[in-house]
Structure 1
């Protein structure tokens, strides 16, 4: 607590809070970020991971399909990490999705930070086709890591519909055939209270190779 920068540099916040934040360090997928110490992990993801590990270890044959062909796997990327306040409805949370992309994929090909932001908003509108969704880009910035040759695009945007109004802060980057997306979302009514925490989470998100 007396030296939060040193504590974070040593990743002591993986074990206990430093200046009000814990660290999520995912060595398997190669990323890390900090999140509010009062938040907890998404239990659905935990149980899903345990079930996946059990299926991989199991020697039993797959379940029968009653003569029907097995369903095709869904082409949907699900979060590999997610945190939020305990007992919340899920409207306030942070999550990370890791998606496979071609080895030569480059976010820079879409243009600058604002161009990337517009691409993300068009993607949101496409996935919500049929719903009355309005997404507005509010801010876009670029953070570069020349040592590891990674560019992080931080986007702030508002998503509105007749039933909700949310504020999002997202960070996108790509490396070695993987697209990483951190997304933190909150109800518009809670934005002022969580803004600094959201920006801290976004600015801490980075890829790691030394774990």
Structure 2
């Protein structure tokens, strides 16, 4: 009887000392860290990872609105190049729209709505916003953060339908602005 009581107290103590995932969440977002590829970001609570075999490094999507997602894509760039060497925020945003968001033959159209640069820990990040029309005429809204580190272009993308944009845009903006490399 005394052993059972001691074991139960030990379990309760260990549970109370270890943080649960909900306790780590901040403002409806929870952390994700990829130490092998060197990046971290926040993503909405309740979203789940999607198994991907090619393309993005990681994808999370909403369990209910499954077309809402965040992802990280990593591409090599020429050695010694910086983000500024690749172009201004508008130029890089335009090229990303043509290469990744609405490539030729996809039937999609992307309009770069906003492009700006910001500094975090002496690194330049480009924040990009797109209005996207899919081939089925569905309207979507995409946000992205792009940065160069260790000879690679890291792009964090967040996407939702235009219909849901007004409800979730602040959460997606926080997620995109949380993206950082060199972890």
- Could you say which TM-score interval applies, normalised by the shorter chain? 0.7 to 0.9
Q: 1:179 aligns with which of 153, 157, 166?
A: 153
Q: 1:152 aligns with which of 114, 125, 149?
A: 125
Which 4+ residue blocks in structure 1 deviate beyond 6 angstroms?
12-15
- Aligned pair count reads 163
Instruction: Specify the alignment match of 1:207 in structure 2.
Output: 181
Q: 2:30 aligns with which of 11, 22, 25?
A: 22
The 1:132–1:19 alpha-carbon spacing in structure 2 relative to 1, beyond 3 Å, is closer
User: Is it true that 1:115 corresponds to 2:91 in the alignment?
Assistant: yes
Instruction: Specify the alignment match of 1:9 in structure 2.
Output: none
Taking structure 2 as the reference length, the TM-score comes to 0.79
SS in 2 for 1:28: coil
Structure number with the higher strand fraction is 2
Q: 1:191 aligns with which of 140, 143, 165?
A: 165
Instruction: Specify the alignment match of 1:140 in structure 2.
Output: 115
8 A Cα contact 1:14 1:23, kept in partner: no
The 1:131–1:85 alpha-carbon spacing in structure 2 relative to 1, beyond 3 Å, is closer
* Deviation sequence 1:40-88 (CA, Å, 0-9, x none): 121x14xx5xxxxxxxxxxxxxxxxxxxxxxxxxxxx622221111154
The 1:181–1:14 alpha-carbon spacing in structure 2 relative to 1, beyond 3 Å, is farther
Instruction: Specify the alignment match of 1:41 in structure 2.
Output: 49
**CA positional deviation for 1:114:** 1.7
Query: Radius of gyration: which is bigger?
Result: 2
SS in 2 for 1:105: coil
**CA positional deviation for 1:176:** 1.2
User: Is it true that 1:98 corresponds to 2:106 in the alignment?
Assistant: no
User: Is it true that 1:161 corresponds to 2:169 in the alignment?
Assistant: no
Please give the root-mean-square deviation of Cα atoms over the aligned residues, in Å: 2.3
Inter-partner Cα distance in structure 2 for 1:172 and 1:103: 17
Structure 2: segments with no counterpart, 5+ residues: 1-19
**CA positional deviation for 1:161:** 3.3
**CA positional deviation for 1:103:** 1.9
Taking structure 1 as the reference length, the TM-score comes to 0.69
The 1:162–1:101 alpha-carbon spacing in structure 2 relative to 1, beyond 3 Å, is closer
